[in-house]
Amino acid sequence: MKKFFFLLLTVALLASCHRGPQLDPVVKAYYRDSLATLTERCAQVLEAAYMAENLLEERNDLPGWEGYPVQLYEYYTGRDIYLGEPKRGLVYLLNPSPEQLAKWVVNAVFDATGALDPANIEKLCSFIKWQSGAQFPVSGVVYEDMYTAGFYEPYVFKDGVTVYVADSTWLTKDKHPTDEMLAYYLTLTNDQLRPNTGRYARISSTTREMYYAAGGTAEVGHSDDGERSQAWLAEVGRLYREAWGNDKNFLIYAWAKANL
């Protein structure tokens, strides 16, 4: 009898672990009544995912991302004002579905504020659309014309964070990467990178300081120059994989806690 009771208890515990964190009744009610509408809004956010253009392959064996449906995309920028033609990009992406993104948004807002204010939900959706288009670059080049309109500068990403290539022979002074360079950027390992990484983590530009303030405990450095530890890459990747297929994304929650 004791063995049978122990077996039932074990099964119950395993089932509880499998379900993950329980959702608040307020969030459950939102799922029932409003999730479809927010999913439509998140589909609009994902329309800004400009790198998801020409799907070349999907694989679930990418090193460090085994078991996740990482997709390789080829894409082209607009006409670059210096090159005189569009630039080609290659990037591995792991973008959420509209419903997945909607669940991340709802839970981030509720967990950060204790309520589901439509203004906060829209603020978070609008920020993600403007900042990233909900694109999570696992590796590869991301072009942005933030500083000069029409000049598409290449930024190399790994695990959702900007990184800097250590070997200068794989850099281009005119910022027009060759096809060989684009392929190289897809397979970078941490020992091929400079010690410092970028400050922000996709998909909501989460900083290390936001991460700590939200309860993050891994030592990932700080946003100051010289303190942006590569440990940020591993932690961002871990948290994004943890969020995949689940209702909560800690990185989005950390941004919401700091900004809502």
The domains of the chain are located at 36-259
User: Can you list the positions of beta strands (E) in 159-243?
Assistant: 161-163
Other beta carbons within 10 Å of 117: 13
Average pLDDT over residues 158-165: 98
Query: Strands across the sheet with 54-59, in order?
Result: 54-59, 70-79, 86-93, 137-144, 153-158, 161-163
Q: Which two tokens stand for residue 79?
A: 């006409």
**What's the maximum distance between 2 C-alpha atoms anywhere in the chain?**
79
User: Per-residue pLDDT tens for 190-237?
Assistant: 999 999 999 999 999 999 999 999 999 999 999 999 999 999 999 999
pTM for the complete prediction?
0.91
CA–CA separation, 17 vs 8, rounded Å? 14
* Tokens representing residue 13 in the block: 């515990």
Q: CA of 57: how far to CAs of 35, 48, 60, 66, in Å?
A: 31, 21, 10, 15
Cβ neighbours, 10 Å, residue 120 = 19
pLDDT confidence tier of residue 22, bands split at 50, 70 and 90: confident
Phi-psi category of 215—alpha, beta or left, where left has phi over 0 and alpha has psi -120 to 50? left
Amino acid letter at 235?
A: E
Distance between CA atoms of 255 and 239, rounded to whole angstroms?
Answer: 14
CB 103: neighbour CB atoms within 10 A?
Answer: 25
Residue 228 to residue 239: CA distance in whole angstroms: 18
- In the prediction, which pLDDT does 173 show? 87
Interval 56-80: pLDDT, tens = 999 999 999 999 999 999 999 999 9
